[in-house]
């Protein structure tokens, strides 16, 4: 039985075309990595997915290896999706990182991609996903094989669109050329890491995706929660990712004094704009013409509400952009 959702949900969100494709995505999308089926269970996941959909977030992102144990995120989210209207949702998953032992459980071979997606569909309880990604580059597999495998998956109806993630501009360019030469399904979307503390794609990716007409959905737009005020106090909050998911060494690597200083500076600019830092970070990602959607994570419903409210102010003055560049140079 499908749950009922807010009738005005599509008025609450902006939808943006993924490159030159027919697919429109919500400006804000929601991912499950580490949170759902990881340090948050089914109850929180359900509350977050329902609230997100009520606010017009139609796109949920997964991967074969998300959750603990790997695959648990797809199981948890899949169970919730059974109560949601499938045709109003864009569900993505990926393969490319280690999933099972032996030569066929990692990388981008045809064998791994096809087998992994079949497993994902079972865990999700779906007949198809909307987007299937090559999760990361695999220099040992010919890109022709990978792109042909993605095309096969589309022809079989197991995915509607294909994407690549974590590819450099050069790798992306090569993949695009192969799809053209071989007449394969086009790359509808690229999923790179991009945020105010990590601006690499401005150097080496966005020109390529714009030229190719592919969309971009940026992951970790809040730098895993660093682009908020939660780590600016004396103690790491006990309900944060740093406390719940990272070991001490990883937390120390992530939360360096230099980074916290940058975050403090950015927070001042956000306050002057009348936005929270998280809101400004999302608006800042969306300012770039290459970016279709920002792919957030959330450990509570309130974060989704706060983040969607970022859409109230997406404009930046030249002075604001310069002040941000000074703290976080391109
Ligand atoms: P974010 O940068 O959005 O970080 C999410 C975390 O930030 C939340 O779990 C929460 O942390 C905190 N947060 C969110 N909103 C707020 C707020 N308003 N105020 C304060 N804190 C907030 O993204 P993720 O790193 O989680 O990645 C998002 C998605 O991107 C993943 O779920 C996955 O789908 C995708 N991804 C893809 C990768 C790839 O290789 N393709 C790699 C990584 C992610 P807390 O838990 O501390 O409350």
Q: What is the domain partition of the chain in residue ranges? A: 9-226+280-314
Q: Kindly give the number of the ligand 1 atom that is closest to the alpha carbon of 228.
A: 20
Assign a CATH topology to domain 9-226+280-314.
TIM Barrel (3.20.20)
Write down the residue that tokens 């995706």 correspond to. Answer: 209
Protein residue with its CA nearest to atom 27 in ligand 1: 220
Q: Kindly give the number of the ligand 1 atom that is closest to the alpha carbon of 226.
A: 7
Neighbours of 186 (CB within 10 A): 17
Protein residue with its CA nearest to atom 4 in ligand 1: 224
Helix 318-327 × helix 257-273 angle, to 10°: 170
Q: Kindly give the number of the ligand 1 atom that is closest to the alpha carbon of 303.
A: 18
| Contacts of residue 50, Cβ cutoff 8 Å, sequence gap at least 6 | 3, 5, 80, 84
CA of 80 to the centre of ligand 1 (A): 20
In the three-class reduction of DSSP (H, G, I as helix; E, B as strand; rest coil), residue 278 is classed as helix
Neighbours of 124 (CB within 10 A): 21
Structure tokens at 83: 């109560």
pLDDT in tens, the chain (330 residues): 678 999 999 999 999 999 999 999 999 999 999 999 999 999 999 999 999 999 999 999 999 999 999 999 999 999 999 999 999 999 999 999 999 999 999 999 999 999 999 999 999 999 999 999 999 999 999 999 999 999 999 999 999 999 999 999 999 999 999 999 999 999 999 999 999 999 999 999 999 999 999 999 999 999 999 999 999 999 999 999 999 999 999 999 999 999 999 999 999 999 999 999 999 999 999 999 999 999 999 999 999 999 999 999 999 999 999 999 999 999
Structure tokens at 106: 């990692």
Write down the residue that tokens 């094989």 correspond to. Answer: 145
| Contacts of residue 96, Cβ cutoff 8 Å, sequence gap at least 6 | 106, 107, 108, 133, 134, 135, 136, 138, 165, 166
Residues with CB under 6 A from ligand 1: 31-33, 35, 61, 135, 165-166, 191, 219-225, 228, 230, 240-241, 278, 295-299, 303, 306-307
Kindly provide the ipTM of the predicted complex, given to two decimals.
0.99
* Residue 90, H or E segment: strand 90-95
Q: What is the rounded distance in angstroms from the CA atom of residue 286 to the CA atom of residue 278? A: 13
pLDDT at 3: 84
Please state, in angstroms and as integers, the Cα–Cα distance from residue 221 to each residue in 67, 281, 296, following that order: 20, 7, 6
> 301-329 as b/e, with b when 16 or more CB fall inside 10 Å?
bebbebbbbbbeeeebeeebeebbeebbe
């Amino acid at each position: 039985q499908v749950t009922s959702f807010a009738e005005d949900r599509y008025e609450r969100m902006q939808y943006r075309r993924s490159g030159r494709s027919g697919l429109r995505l919500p400006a804000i999308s929601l991912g499950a990595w580490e949170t759902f089926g990881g340090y948050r269970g089914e109850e929180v996941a359900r509350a977050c997915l329902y609230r997100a959909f009520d606010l017009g977030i139609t796109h949920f992102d997964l991967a074969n290896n998300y959750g603990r144990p790997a695959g648990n995120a797809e199981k948890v989210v899949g169970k919730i999706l059974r109560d949601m209207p499938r045709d109003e949702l864009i569900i993505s998953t990926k393969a490319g990182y280690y999933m099972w032992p032996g030569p066929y459980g990692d990388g981008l071979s045809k064998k791994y991609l096809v087998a992994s997606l079949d497993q994902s569909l079972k865990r999700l309880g779906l007949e198809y996903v909307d987007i299937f990604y090559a999760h990361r580059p695999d220099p040992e597999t010919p890109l022709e094989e990978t792109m042909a495998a993605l095309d096969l998956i589309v022809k079989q109806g197991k995915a509607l669109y294909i994407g690549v993630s974590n590819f450099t501009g050069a790798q992306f360019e090569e993949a695009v050329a192969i799809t053209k030469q071989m007449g394969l399904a086009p790359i509808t979307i690229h999923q790179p890491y991009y945020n105010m503390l990590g601006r690499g794609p401005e150097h080496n990716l966005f020109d390529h995706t714009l030229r190719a007409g592919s969309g971009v959905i940026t992951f970790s737009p809040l730098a895993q929660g660093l682009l908020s005020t939660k780590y600016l106090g004396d103690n790491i909050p006990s309900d944060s990712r740093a406390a719940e998911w990272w070991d001490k060494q990883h937390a120390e690597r992530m939360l360096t004094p230099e980074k916290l200083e940058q975050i403090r500076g950015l927070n001042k600019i956000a306050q002057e704009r009348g936005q929270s830092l998280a809101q400004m970070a999302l608006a800042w990602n969306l300012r770039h013409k290459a970016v279709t959607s920002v792919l957030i994570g959330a450990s509570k419903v309130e974060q989704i509400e706060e983040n969607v409210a970022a859409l109230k102010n997406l404009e930046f003055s030249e002075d604001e952009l310069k002040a941000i560049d000074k703290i976080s140079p391109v």
